[in-house]
Amino acid sequence: MNRKIALQLSGVERRYGQGDTVLSILKGADFSMRSGEIVALVAPSGTGKSTLLHIAGLLEKPDAGEVIINGESCGHLSDDRRTAIRRSEIGFVYQFHHLLPEFSALENIMMPQLISGLPRKEARDRASQLLDYMRIGHRGDHRPAELSGGEQQRVAIARAVANAPMVLLADEPTGNLDPETAHYVFDALEALVRQSGLAALIATHNHELAARMDRRVTLGDGLIQEM
């Protein structure tokens, strides 16, 4: 199988601080991921996982190097173009769901599509389909506070992929869940990735979950290394 490269990082560098207190987090990191692939990012706390995900997701700019999404090099793009790529090609999931509390699960999933200009009916149909896919179709009218932790994360994943992005970036998406629920949420995520062909990079401290993914990478000395 030779699927196309959805995300590529080339020579990515990131430093924080100034003068004597510069902290070099990424020192020329290279990485690529193909459509349909699920990659675990497993590395000790503070080594730069979130930094890497923020750069890959165009939320932060690297000090040097390139981020290429779906063949488009993003380094020299205008902020507007970067925002447009982020909205259409990238989905984010975090450790805490960050769903809007006053809206239902269905409405939360519709939101990114409405922001992208999709008609309400189409957004609703797709949101409903995603809820079914995540096996929580019966929970569409519930607000986040009325859902379990695992259900909330499944809604968050559905919302992240609502605009059919090329790349899903997840920062400890099951970090707040018990092990059994974590596996259940991952089952749903995996099914979604296989069905949609998006590429997923998932930072996790859960080694059992990482073992279920296609590939595992780690961060060491500012570089991304295959495990």
Ligand X SMILES: Nc1ncnc2c1ncn2[C@@H]1O[C@H](COP(=O)(O)OP(=O)(O)OP(=O)(O)O)[C@@H](O)[C@H]1O
- Give the contact letters, 39-68, x = binds to ligand X (CB under 6 A), - = no: ----x-xxxxxxx-----------------
Enumerate the H helices of 6-148 as residue ranges: 49-56, 79-89, 105-115, 120-133
Check residue 78 for interaction with ligand X (CB under 6 A).
no
The token pair at 199 is: 């590429």
Nearer to ligand X, 45 or 78 (CB): 45
Q: How far is the CB of 36 from ligand X (least distance, A)?
A: 25
Check residue 16 for interaction with ligand X (CB under 6 A).
yes
Q: How far is the CB of 18 from ligand X (least distance, A)?
A: 10
Check residue 101 for interaction with ligand X (CB under 6 A).
no
Check residue 178 for interaction with ligand X (CB under 6 A).
no
Q: Give the H/E segment covering residue 175.
A: none
Q: How far is the CB of 170 from ligand X (least distance, A)?
A: 12
The token pair at 215 is: 């590939």
- Among the residue ranges 4-12, 38-46, 73-81, 185-193, the one whose residues contact ligand X (CB under 6 A): 38-46
Q: How far is the CB of 45 from ligand X (least distance, A)?
A: 3
User: CA 148: distance to chain centroid?
Assistant: 21
Q: Is 49 helix (H, G, I), strand (E, B) or coil?
A: helix
Check residue 206 for interaction with ligand X (CB under 6 A).
no
Q: Give the H/E segment covering residue 54.
A: helix 49-56
Check residue 202 for interaction with ligand X (CB under 6 A).
no
Which residues lie across from 226 on neighbouring strands? 217
State the distance between the two ends of the chain, measured CA to CA, in whole angstroms.
Answer: 22
In sign, the C-alpha dihedral spanning 103, 176, 52, 7 is: negative
Q: How far is the CB of 50 from ligand X (least distance, A)?
A: 3
Query: What is the binding site for ligand X (CB under 6 A)?
Result: 16, 23, 25, 43, 45-51
